Amino acid sequence: MAKTQQERREDTRQRLLSAARDVIAERGVAGASIDALAEAADRTSGALYAQFGSKEGLLLALLDHWKDATSGAIAADFSSTADLDARLDSLWRNFVDPPADGGDSWLLLEHELWLYACRTPAVRTPVAARYERARRHLATALPTDEAGVGTLVIALMIGLEMQRRLDPDAVSDELARAGLRTLLSATT
């Protein structure tokens, strides 16, 4: 049976997202041209523009997909326990090993997006807004009244993840949990 137009659009969207995951993780944002992304997806550059408006739109959609999957997994874990260590384990585990397909590239792409936003003023505002939403969400989900705790938690997790990516033995799950617990105890 022939696919409907909506099914073809969704297939194109998924192909472009998968291509972006692979190409940008390998080459970086600057090294991944619109044409290279479209070619990797076996689509045209016009299809990319029609779906996402720009390369930045494609990257943000990909990162939002992973962020939503990760947030959903963390929220489900948080709702099943009030134990702080279990919550911190969930937060860390889902951050360094996201549940979405291809999630192992998520943090590499987050780093790429951060660098790209620092170098591209037009992208800076939407990227900053993404981080603001994440900070607010964390501040409400964790047991603290400190206004800046979301910022501190994100900074700690990104720093720990970067070190772990280069040297997995340097950052154990236990060390990450202890760091998060210490941070939260200092802000309550």
CATH number at residue 71: 1.10.357.10
Cα–Cα nearest to 22, from 36, 7, 43: 36
Residue 84 within a domain: yes
Per-residue pLDDT reduced to its tens digit, 26-63? 888 888 999 999 999 999 999 999 999 998 889 888 87
pLDDT at 145: 67
Spatial distance between the Cα atoms of 7 and 12, rounded to a whole number of angstroms:
9
Number of H helices, E strands in the chain: 9, 0
pLDDT at 50: 96
pLDDT at 28: 84
For residues 162 and 63, the model is more confident at: 162
Residue 24 within a domain: no
Residue 12 within a domain: no
pLDDT at 122: 83
pLDDT at 166: 92
What average pLDDT does range 102-129 have in this prediction? 84
Residue 13 within a domain: no
Domain, as residue range, for 120? 57-186
Number of domain units in the chain: 1
For residues 11 and 98, the model is more confident at: 11
Residue 11 within a domain: no
Residue 77 within a domain: yes
Residue 48 within a domain: no
| Per-residue pLDDT at 146 exceeds 80 | no
Q: Is 31 exposed, middle or buried (0-12, 13-18, 19+ CB in 10 A)?
A: exposed
Residue 4 within a domain: no
